[in-house]
Amino acid sequence: MKLQTMAGQQVALTAHELARQWRVSFRPKVAIVLGSGLGTVVSALTTEGSIGYSSIAGFPQATVEGHAGLLTYGHWHNVPVVCLQGRAHLYEGHSANTVVLPIRSLMYLGVDTVIITNASGGIRSDLAPGNLMLIRDHLNLTGTSPLLGPNEQSFGPRFPDMSAAYSPELRKIAHEVAEDAGLQLLEGVYAGVLGPAYETPAEIKMLKSIGADAVGMSTVLEVIAAVHMGAQVLGISCVTNPAAGIKQGPLRHEDVKVEAQAAHKQITTLMDGVFGRLESP
């Protein structure tokens, strides 16, 4: 791969560093990003090793409570998987390029499927705390993109198509798995905002009117970068609270974490079924 841009060179450096730290024979196929409070999903892996983000050159540190900052690799139903427990957000002061560096590095190392999880506030009336929402599409309202600046042609095209960013095939599989397992799995549009303040009730009204079903402060940049590099993406949002103004009462990160932790079993069951179907022959 010939890398022309600064972002491209950074990704190559980090990817080589990662490959040096794990067993040479390990070639990941799927990357999983675990959002706030969802880190325990990793216990379903047959783990081969873990690396702290602080020892991976170029990796942004996860500073938010509920984000471990650990990369764990292993197998799930024979599928070689890397789990990112914790992510960097724009609101921590990172650039869009830095936020997506972990995903890009894993794509560079051979990942072709990205499963992204997050916690969100429910806007649509049927999205209650504890519900899982498969992300059908997103609204990038962060005001930025990881694709700004010179395009790294070896990653993907200048103007990538985003019309099926969340793989219809993977969504179909996820729905089948949910039905078999008796899990309720809703579907909707995720609005990615900058944060870190939770939205005002007026902002939630506006988001509703432009087609958002749930709102959160992550995911959209990672999905843009992954799709740019040709990944198929599955997005699962764990609704942790009614969005501002939908119900009375303040929003607190503590409650978001507790509610996400409570959903880890459902998410694990869902992913387990998806991996059962992705399993290499």
Footprint of ligand HPA on this chain (CB under 6 A)? 119-121, 198-199, 215-217, 240-241, 243, 251, 256
Min separation Cβ 143 and ligand HPA, Å: 15
**Beta carbon nearer to ligand HPA, 10 or 120:** 120
Identify which of 251, 214, 220 has the alpha carbon closest to the alpha carbon of residue 142. 220
140 part of the active site: no
SS3 26: coil
| 24 burial level (CB within 10 Å; 0-12, 13-18, 19+) | exposed
36 part of the active site: yes
92 part of the active site: yes
162, 175, 187, 253: which one is catalytic? Answer: 253
**Beta carbon nearer to ligand HPA, 130 or 160:** 130
**Beta carbon nearer to ligand HPA, 123 or 231:** 123
Min separation Cβ 84 and ligand HPA, Å: 18
**Beta carbon nearer to ligand HPA, 168 or 201:** 201
C-alpha 156/C-alpha 163 separation (Å) is 15
DSSP state of 43: G
31, 88, 92, 191: which one is catalytic? Answer: 92
Min separation Cβ 60 and ligand HPA, Å: 19
Min separation Cβ 123 and ligand HPA, Å: 9
| 272 burial level (CB within 10 Å; 0-12, 13-18, 19+) | middle
**Beta carbon nearer to ligand HPA, 152 or 203:** 203
Identify which of 96, 91, 10 has the alpha carbon closest to the alpha carbon of residue 56. 10
119 part of the active site: yes
Task: For residue 98, report the phi and psi dihedrals to the nearest 5 degrees.
Answer: -70, -40
- Find the helix packing angle between 220-228 and 101-108, rounded to 10°: 30
Residue listed under structure tokens 């600064």: 6
17, 91, 145, 175: which one is catalytic? Answer: 91
Residue 175 CB: number of other CB atoms within 10 A? Answer: 15
Min separation Cβ 98 and ligand HPA, Å: 20
88, 107, 191, 217: which one is catalytic? Answer: 217
Give the CA diameter of the chain: 54
209 part of the active site: no
67 part of the active site: yes
7, 53, 62, 67: which one is catalytic? Answer: 67
253 part of the active site: yes
25 part of the active site: no
Min separation Cβ 242 and ligand HPA, Å: 8
- Find the helix packing angle between 6-21 and 101-108, rounded to 10°: 70
Length of the chain: 281
Residue listed under structure tokens 């990357």: 31
SS3 140: strand
**Beta carbon nearer to ligand HPA, 3 or 251:** 251
15, 31, 36, 264: which one is catalytic? Answer: 36
User: What residues are annotated to the active site?
Assistant: 36, 67, 89, 91-92, 119, 217-218, 241, 253
